[in-house]
Structure 1
Amino acid sequence: MKLLAFAASNSSQSINRQLVDYVIGLLQGGEIDGVDPDALKISTLDLNDFEMPIYSIDRQEVGGIPQPAHDFYNALGAADALLISFAEHNGSYTVAYKNVFDWASRIDMRVYHDKPIVMLSTSPGGGGGGFVLRTASHLAGYFGNEILATLSIPRFGENFDTEAGAVSDPDLDAQLREALATLSGVLSGGSEEPAS
């Protein structure tokens, strides 16, 4: 299975990227029930590689859709499953992600190519990026997604050990592992019941 995992942030210090890195380590280390690391190929992307002018219909009509939008769209399409950790800015997507997504949606509204997805979020505060996670999950079907699981990690500084690069709260770590285990259905070709 090809899994594309990334943080929906362009920050070089992204805590959501730190969470994604931890997830990748769990998957590659064989620590997730039902997921065979030998059958898993994980790729990542960096939103900084997809910088484009702010989307507008005028820009599209004059210059068409920029190549980075095609590259992003194709990267999602090449995966068998997706894992995205959403950073939250003022209750919504980061501008960096929203712009890439808006451009890609002009290629095809089903940006996510009907791929199964695990959606995560984290933030420094108690909300854990819950607003953006709810938005992303609510709209997922419209943009071509089958949600396997969602999970927000609140108070990143308290619940994530940055030196160890790991979720430090046992309950949250167990919930994260349970969410990731839903990917086992994709590996086997079966289906998993969505988890929240």
Structure 2
Amino acid sequence: MKKILAFAGSNSSTSINQQLLNNITERLAGHEVQHLKLTDYPLPIYSVDKEKVEGFPMHLKILLDKISVSDALVIAVNEHNGAPSAFFKNTIDWLSRLDRNFLSEKEILLISTSPGARGAKSSLDYTQNIFGRFGGKVLESFSFPSFNDNFQDGKVINEVLDMGIEDVVTTFAHQIEA
């Protein structure tokens, strides 16, 4: 059994990425999944000056510790204007300053969704690219398109997308067990 930490990069209380994340983590039977809300770890906007004067925020150290003790991560990235939200990017900026390899040896399932047909694919691609710089290994990724048309009451209602997610989750689970 692996310890999996799951969180969404959104600070919205009604995040569709959080809803998709919940659906996906329910499929990870046989693993210990801990859900985390990044909004419980508030961080100021990153600034070198702020870092020099105030050091690293305590919430940041707690967040890094939770990442460090996990075996794998499931992360849902949101998209604002074709990129990860400033909220999520700020969290990554702080984490990488505290420990450049904050994702060292972490196996990652990366997902994204949006109301649009691309399913936050630009944000997913950006995040997948930068996670390698911090030591992370994205084993699987999935972009879920047109959330409002394909997801309802906590369930994927598009059969083809549901099969795709099931395949990605099953493959990820087998890879982290190896």
TM-score band, normalised by the shorter chain?
Answer: over 0.9
Q: Where does residue 32 of structure 1 map in the other structure?
A: none
Shift of 1:75: 1.1
> 1:137 is paired with a residue of what secondary structure?
helix
Q: Say which of 172, 175, 178 aligns to 2:167.
A: 178
Q: Say which of 155, 165, 175 aligns to 1:166.
A: 155
**Aligned-residue identity in percent:** 36
Give the alignment's TM-score, normalised by structure 1: 0.86
Please tell me whether residue 21 in structure 1 is matched to residue 22 in structure 2: yes
How many Å separate the matches in 1 of 2:80 and 2:38?
A: 15
1:109-150 deviation line (CA, Å, top 9, x unaligned): 112122010100000011100000000111221111111111
Give ranges in structure 1 of 5+ residues lacking alignment. Answer: 29-36, 191-196
CA RMSD of aligned residues (A): 1.1
How many Å separate the matches in 2 of 1:159 and 1:176?
A: 12
Q: Are the aligned partners of 1:47 and 1:96 in contact in 2 as well (CA < 8 Å)?
A: no
Q: Where does residue 9 of structure 1 map in the other structure?
A: 10
Amino acid paired to 1:178: D
Amino acid paired to 1:48: T
Q: Where does residue 55 of structure 1 map in the other structure?
A: 46
Give ranges in structure 2 of 5+ residues lacking alignment. Answer: none
How many Å separate the matches in 2 of 1:81 and 1:137?
A: 15
Q: Where does residue 111 of structure 2 map in the other structure?
A: 120
Shift of 1:101: 1.4
Q: Where does residue 154 of structure 1 map in the other structure?
A: 145
1:9-41 deviation line (CA, Å, top 9, x unaligned): 11100000000111122224xxxxxxxx2xx11
How many Å separate the matches in 1 of 2:83 and 2:58?
A: 25
Displaced runs of 4 or more, over 6 A:
none
What is the total number of aligned residue pairs between the two structures? 176
